[in-house]
């Protein structure tokens, strides 16, 4: 089991420093920066708290494993999660998850199953299109409901976009629609996903609890999670990291490790009797040639072309993978840092309309520099999520 899950932060390789030591400034330089009188400076020095700093990643060249690029399957206005009937077949769409597909997959799969139940579909032969996290999670849940499932896909793990995801639990860069009903549905799916992942905590599935730190006031995908789903947010006058003293916050969330989770899910599908077939679909016509009368469409970015849906838009993200390091936190500032068992993932870029999966060296070097600058004040970097 993961050490952080078992121990929280105690017992790990954390280091205690006086505040002045941690930020690399002398006491007087630090305090004069805050404009204190000499009397209050003395008082402050006497009562200065000790803080525990979390370990700083090793960003040195020798730690770089690889540069990676993946394409988020974003859909304008909303993910598509609906059932339609075409020529005597039932077609359920489940695509357009942008930067939140790992987060949403279990909740979306439960919706797909419920849509089939509501449509009166008894256990039958089902074709699932796409072998990313959404296709595989749907396949798994349908098998559990007694359906006979074949996953048709041109690629499987480890070659899908889902394999590239950072794996933080958070509905980032994904749309659910505008109405209160849409949001209530999305929140229901997030709750279902969170509960599912909590049941899978540990090394077998690569799902872990982690504190996610950010600078300033809470923002980003945290504000889109249902209120009360996660434990209360903790506030810090000074975040426990080397570097400039910055106020911030942390919340306990989940980290799903795609290179562990996805092969484990595929193994589960096969053990439940699910089949996988390599196939590439060029159009709706090629989909309609399948023998199955019930089809679940989880083609991700591919759905744009196959379903002729112009609202599916690629957003490229680039990542730097460092060798695994014992860092018991997530950090979203200056891009993001997600330490996982297989790699420390540095990321946070967004390029609309770019579909090249070959990473760009200059951008990846910038990601590395930006991440390092959070800890090393002499280097510059920008906040972003
Ligand atoms: C850099 C990056 C970081 C990310 N970080 C996170 C994160 O931290 N948390 C999070 O929740 N999400 C994250 N995401 C988003 C997440 O990866 C996606 O939302 C998710 O993977 C989408 O899953 P999917 O199954 O719908 O699509 P995919 O994983 O793309 O799977 C689609 C499947 O369909 C197949 N396919 C496509 N077209 C065809 C065709 N024509 N014929 C046959 N098969 C086809 C593909 O081979 C593939 O098997 C990130 C994404 C990127 C790029």
Predicted pLDDT of residue 255:
98
Looking at per-residue pLDDT, the higher value among 303 and 11 belongs to 303
The pLDDT tens digits of the residues spanning 98-108 come to 999 999 999 99
> Which residues make up the CATH 3.40.50.720 domain(s) of the chain?
74-202+258-311
Index of the ligand 1 atom closest to the CA of residue 134: 25
Q: What is the pLDDT of residues 152-190, one digit of tens each?
A: 999 999 999 999 999 999 999 999 999 999 999 999 999
CA distance 168 to 23: 28
Residues 6+ apart with CB under 8 A from 331: 212, 213, 214, 241, 337, 374
256 has pLDDT over 70? yes
Query: Would the CB of 100 count as within 6 Å of ligand 1?
Result: yes
According to the model, what pLDDT value does residue 139 have?
99
Q: What is the CATH number of domain 74-202+258-311?
A: 3.40.50.720
User: Is a pLDDT exceeding 90 seen at residue 383?
Assistant: no
| Tens-place pLDDT, residues 204-252 | 999 999 999 999 999 888 989 999 999 999 999 999 999 989 999 999 9
Check: CB of residue 151 under 8 Å from CB of residue 276: yes
pTM here is: 0.88
Query: Two tokens at 238?
Result: 């000074």
Best of 100, 133, 165 to mutate for ligand 1, by most ligand atoms within 8 A of CB?
A: 165
Four-point Cα dihedral 48, 54, 55, 61, nearest 10: -110
pLDDT at 15: 35
What is the per-residue pLDDT across 77-118, written as a single tens digit (0 to 9) for each? 999 999 999 999 999 999 999 999 999 999 999 999 999 999
How far, in Å, is the centroid of ligand 1 from the Cα of 101? 7
Q: How far apart are the first and last CA of the chain?
A: 29
Q: For 261-311, what is each residue's pLDDT tens digit?
A: 999 999 999 999 999 999 999 999 999 999 999 999 999 999 999 999 999
Q: Which of 154, 300, 314 to mutate to test the pocket of ligand 1 (most atoms within 8 A of CB)?
A: 300
Instruction: Report how far residue 230's alpha carbon sits from residue 248's, in angstroms, rounded to the nearest whole number.
Output: 17
Weakest mean pLDDT among 102-116, 123-137, 292-306, 366-380: 366-380
Name which residue leads in pLDDT, 296 or 33. Answer: 296
Distance 73 CA to ligand 1 centre (A): 6
Residue of minimum CA distance from atom 7 in ligand 1: 167
Measure 193 CA to ligand 1 centroid, in angstroms.
Answer: 17
Size of the chain in residues: 385
Angle among Cα 284, 290, 292 to the nearest 5 degrees reads 120
Q: What distance in angstroms lies between residue 226's CA and the mean position of ligand 1's atoms?
A: 24
């Amino acid at each position: 089991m993961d050490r952080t899950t078992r121990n929280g932060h105690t017992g790990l390789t954390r280091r205690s420093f006086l505040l002045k030591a941690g930020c690399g400034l002398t006491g007087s330089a630090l305090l004069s920066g805050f404009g204190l009188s000499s009397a209050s400076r003395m008082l402050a020095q006497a009562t200065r708290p000790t803080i525990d700093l979390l370990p700083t990643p090793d960003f040195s060249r020798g730690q770089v494993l690889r540069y990676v690029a993946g394409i988020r399957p974003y859909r304008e206005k909303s993910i598509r999660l609906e059932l339609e009937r075409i020529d005597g077949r039932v077609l359920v769409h489940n695509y357009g998850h942008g930067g939140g597909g790992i987060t949403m997959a279990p909740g979306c799969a439960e919706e797909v199953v419920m849509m089939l139940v509501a449509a009166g579909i008894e256990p039958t032969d089902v074709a699932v299109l796409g072998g990313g996290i959404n296709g595989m999670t749907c396949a798994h849940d349908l098998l559990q409901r007694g359906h006979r499932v074949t996953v048709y896909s041109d690629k499987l793990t480890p070659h899908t976009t889902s394999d590239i995801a950072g794996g933080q639990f958070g509905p980032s860069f994904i749309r659910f629609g505008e109405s209160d009903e849409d949001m209530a549905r999305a929140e229901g799916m997030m709750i279902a996903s969170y509960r599912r992942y909590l049941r899978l905590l540990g090394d077998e599935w690569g799902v872990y609890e982690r504190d996610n730190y950010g600078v300033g006031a809470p923002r980003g995908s945290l504000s889109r999670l249902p209120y009360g789903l996660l434990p209360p947010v903790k506030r810090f006058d000074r975040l426990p990291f080397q570097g400039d003293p910055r106020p911030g916050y942390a919340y306990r969330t989940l980290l799903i490790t795609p290179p562990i989770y996805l092969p484990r899910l595929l193994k589960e599908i096969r053990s439940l009797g699910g089949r996988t077939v390599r196939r590439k679909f060029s159009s709706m016509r090629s989909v309609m040639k399948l023998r199955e009368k019930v089809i679940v469409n989880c083609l991700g970015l591919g759905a744009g072309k196959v379903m002729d849906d112009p609202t599916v838009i690629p957003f490229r993200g680039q990542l730097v993978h460092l060798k695994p390091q014992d860092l018991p936190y997530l950090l979203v500032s200056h891009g993001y840092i997600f330490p996982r068992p297989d790699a420390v993932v540095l990321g946070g870029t967004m390029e609309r309309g770019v579909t090249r999966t070959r990473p760009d060296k200059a951008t990846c070097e910038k990601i590395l520099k930006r991440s390092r600058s959070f800890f090393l004040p002499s280097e510059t970097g920008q906040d972003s999520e």
